[in-house]
Chain A
């Protein structure tokens, strides 16, 4: 008995070691995944709610174009990309803003808008796909959500947007609305960081590759924005995005680094032009 008591800690050590090594690492991982997933769901719902509110503000600033045929066309392109490379838990919406300004917006949770001015500037479907892919990348990478720091400070598995914005009290709701205004301001005035934009551009190219679109068209589109930035018709765009030179060079670098120069994609110019003959 004395012997046992003397070596008690040793036995405990051995037992816990054996338990840990044979045991339930796998089961534990699954359970952790389950908890993580539950949180993800709550976070996703909050994110959609949040993005919906931002979108309503975008539509409060610019009128929506209620043309079912044109919306169906861009939504087919956008959904085609998101179905392959977007977040599977989201449903994405694609709208056209009836303004001559040149820009495109992405609100968290799957809301994407392109302006009429931008569509007028585009020459083919690959350019449209590129712009939509850029916005899709913002949503996939949760750039706005992360920039607003919609996560609690401890960064634990069980924290996130749902915890920050999920409260039912009035103060939580006011906080929700304040943050929402910040997100809207970020889209309209402040913009995301240079790195986020560069990242979204690169991710957009990746999406174009795997959907078989021409890459150079997207780069040409960026170049074609330039005169508008100087004229001021794309004031919001120039305020919220890095310079065209920066974005162009970033993409050239990416193309060379990944040996994508030889890739010949489609641009579906005729289909694009028939859909947007009258804008």
Chain B
């Protein structure tokens, strides 16, 4: 009787231990995975063209160097709006708006250029995006009401989208002073 009781207790304990082990294993590995995803990996990327690295966390301090877009830097310290980073051999301070934690991929998405509301002969061709269709046709819902009560002007928007821009020239234009 005593012995039976002992074995029962043993198997009970064993199953408990199994549970604890499995769950702690799962917990630990999930910890690693989660920390893999949301790792406070101190790696940041320079967002813009010509970010100026400064010696001190102040706008008046000495300029060390300019970092190009997409440069990988190591974030070390935060002080207000300033981040201390290490780029290659140099350490310096950048403004927080100048870096991001997502690798920089430059992809110019100009959806507007896909849409041609009117061909040269004046016929409507190739209405690709839904918004343009709604804009032109005034789509109605099942009750026959116009979906949006607001006026739209896609022709003016296309005119704006056709205006040329050049990032590097604009940055140069901005740094010129009178």
Contact = CB atoms under 8 A, between A and B. Distances in A.
A211 B112 CA distance: 29
Contact of B173 (A21, A76, A90, A266): A76
A258 interface: yes
B171 A85 contact: no
For chain A, the bracket of interface size reads: 35 or more
Contacts of A207: 97
Contact of B22 (A13, A48, A82): A13
Contacts of B112: 52
Interface string A173-215: 1101110110010000000000000000001001101111000
Interface string A245-279: 00000000000011110110010111100000000
Interface in A146-168: 157
A95 B163 CA distance: 10
A76 B175 CA distance: 11
Contacts of B4: none
A258 B35 CA distance: 33
B166 to A, nearest CB: 8
B28 A20 contact: yes
A81 B135 CA distance: 31
B98 A88 contact: no
For chain B, the bracket of interface size reads: 35 or more
A57 B150 contact: yes
Interface of A (DSSP majority class): helix
Interface of A: 9-10, 12-13, 16-17, 19-21, 23-26, 28-29, 32-33, 36-37, 40-41, 44-45, 48-49, 52-53, 55-57, 59-61, 63-64, 66, 68, 71-72, 75-93, 95, 140, 157, 173-174, 176-178, 180-181, 184, 203, 206-207, 209-212, 257-260, 262-263, 266, 268-271
30 contacts: A10-B21, A13-B24, A20-B29, A29-B36, A32-B36, A45-B111, A56-B131, A56-B157, A59-B152, A63-B153, A64-B156, A64-B157, A66-B156, A72-B163, A75-B165, A76-B165, A76-B170, A76-B174, A82-B167, A84-B50, A84-B51, A85-B95, A86-B48, A173-B134, A174-B141, A177-B139, A211-B175, A212-B174, A212-B175, A271-B178
| Chain A to chain B: the 7 pairs with minimum beta-carbon distance, closest first | A60-B151, A80-B174, A84-B48, A20-B29, A83-B167, A79-B170, A80-B170
